[in-house]
Structure 1
């Protein structure tokens, strides 16, 4: 079974229960289910939040132009289960931004129009309202939904040098990260599509998250030798700053322009002896905290 891997061994060593090895009901109420790419379900008790849904079938879209392996079609893998299961029990959808690999036409079609939708700014809100979504909310600095406090954290989708180049700067656009908090439950920081910045560092110091979700696929655009999101070395950087936090590494093996795979990151984690801190969930896997 695919979960009987080094990644699962690391999880078991941490004492974190996954859906693949659970002998009974989870003893905790907070979980993250990796769906595919950057799509995840975060559950705090009875509140279920779906982040960045990309719901299309494998190969539905062309590769992103002027990026690494642009000849591949996206997504490069299927969802781990049907869309009905992805959307089951979801109370709200949160978008870090509206790039295709975080919000696609399939999600736009399949998510109920009455679903509560949280977005970063008016442009994204207008996009969703124009498609008929009735409950679109622009996230302030902090908001509470379903007993979960959600805070926005600044993110930067590429290097400073990239943002000096038009139209690349416009294409990369603005993005956001989220911090989720609930009394008596672990604090989760979902960094989103960002490179390492002072805002990321400050968020980790300010919120002292128990769990940090990093997009570590190191996506690349042509003409630059650094990524537009984090990569393997960022797991070490985050671990050094937050040594007791569990790092959940996602956004790999699903879209064309990722240069880091789960296998790559697992090798790095072994080399750096980070197995007790870095979790690399498979698609469909649930981590209970």
Structure 2
């Protein structure tokens, strides 16, 4: 299995011949609006896609969406929708998101209605894990979406956490399932009012402590309401003694994983 970090939450997963694009935000730097009115109110995204992205996207065979409604353009923006529509890439999503995506001309392949149960996916199984994308009033305004557990023959199990805080549900999931690789949001995103809406440094370190395996941090240094830096997260991981298991890839970097084998890093 390979995981290529493109930017923010946008990844490409490779399982044998299958290349799965996750949550495509494909806009050029500064093409999207700010997400805060005060403080860090720059237009988004803050950085361009890496130089390797164009070639990497050419071989994509499927797309997986964690959430996309209520203005969550950092997981699916207009450029991403246009790219998927033009190529008619199969888009796997929840039944909740399927009508929204189909109305925009995408080639939607919704999960079964009972999507929290394992369902067929690329010769293996996929199932969802509930996300909590903020609490209180802010949480009521958010689109919470799902995370995904992907289990394929001959590949390490993979948990894509989606945009979530470290909730009791997520804690119980990682303690019970112990996926071989987990990808978690680490940006500590917040708006002008209210608390964090995804994991920040403390929760990522706590998640890594709950996991017995490798954790990959993303959702970093690309969107204006995410203050966490890679450098600060790496320093916290070293202090906590989990730096050997917490990977913080740069945009464009590809991580290679095999069953029961330590990951290697390469640049696409």
CA distance in 1 between partners of 2:128 and 2:167 (Å): 15
Q: Does 1:240 align with 2:209?
A: yes
Whether the aligned pair in 2 keeps the contact of 1:54 and 1:101 (CA below 8 Å) is: yes
Whether the aligned pair in 2 keeps the contact of 1:194 and 1:229 (CA below 8 Å) is: yes
CA distance in 2 between partners of 1:133 and 1:263 (Å): 38
Task: Report the count of equivalent residues.
Answer: 250
Q: CA RMSD in A?
A: 1.7
- Structure of greater relative contact order (alpha carbons < 8 Å, 6+ residues apart): 1
Q: Name the counterpart of 2:95.
A: 121
Q: Name the counterpart of 1:138.
A: 111
Secondary structure, in 3 states, of the residue corresponding to 1:267?
Answer: helix
Pick closer, same or farther for the CA change 1:107–1:274 going to 2, 3 Å: same
CA distance in 2 between partners of 1:212 and 1:193 (Å): 13
Structure 1 segments (4+ residues) deviating >6 Å: none
Q: TM-score, normalised by structure 2?
A: 0.87
Moved more, 187-196 or 228-237: 228-237
Pick closer, same or farther for the CA change 1:32–1:83 going to 2, 3 Å: closer
Q: Name the counterpart of 2:264.
A: none
Structure 2 gap segments, 5+ residues each: 258-268
CA distance in 1 between partners of 2:130 and 2:164 (Å): 9
Q: Does 1:195 align with 2:165?
A: yes
Q: TM-score, normalised by structure 1?
A: 0.81
CA shift at 1:67, angstroms?
A: 7.0
Pick closer, same or farther for the CA change 1:73–1:86 going to 2, 3 Å: farther
Pick closer, same or farther for the CA change 1:82–1:237 going to 2, 3 Å: closer
CA shift at 1:171, angstroms?
A: 3.1
| Aligned equivalent of 2:75, options 96, 102, 123 | 102
Q: Does 1:48 align with 2:19?
A: yes
Structure 1 gap segments, 5+ residues each: 1-29
Whether the aligned pair in 1 keeps the contact of 2:52 and 2:252 (CA below 8 Å) is: no
CA distance in 2 between partners of 1:121 and 1:135 (Å): 10
